[in-house]
Amino acid sequence: MKIKLFTKAEISKYNPNDVVLKENLIPKAEPENVKNQIINELELGESNKTLVEDIDLTQLAPKKIDWDLKRNIASRLEKLEKKL
């Protein structure tokens, strides 16, 4: 675990009156322009609509609970059917 050592006080929550403290004041963060990112995401979403329409929902349906049991005993059942 790394411990961050501060060489000077970092102030971000209040506006200090002292000149020395004002030098260590962290500038206010400006919000990023996300307009282009949103437009790109919307364009990608529109192109993905065709992918959603192409997916066959029957292939996404979950398997029955006992599908693996049937698979595991299939060879044994074949042997029994041959005997009968």
Residue 46 in any domain: the answer is no
Closest CA relative to residue 22, chosen from 40, 36, 8? 8
- Residues 7-21 pLDDT 10s: 566 656 677 778 877
Residue 3 in any domain: the answer is no
Residue 43 in any domain: the answer is no
**Average pLDDT in the 27-53 region?**
77
Q: List the end-to-end C-alpha distance of the chain, in Å, as a whole number.
A: 69
Domain span at residue 83? 58-84
Give the number of domains in the chain. 1
Mean pLDDT (the chain) is 76
Residue 69 in any domain: the answer is yes
Residues sharing a CB contact under 8 Å with residue 22, sequence separation 6 or more, in sequence order: 16
Residue 23 in any domain: the answer is no
Residue 50 in any domain: the answer is no
pLDDT for residue 31 = 80
Residue 22 in any domain: the answer is no
Residue 84 in any domain: the answer is yes
Against a cut of 0.75, is the pTM above it? no
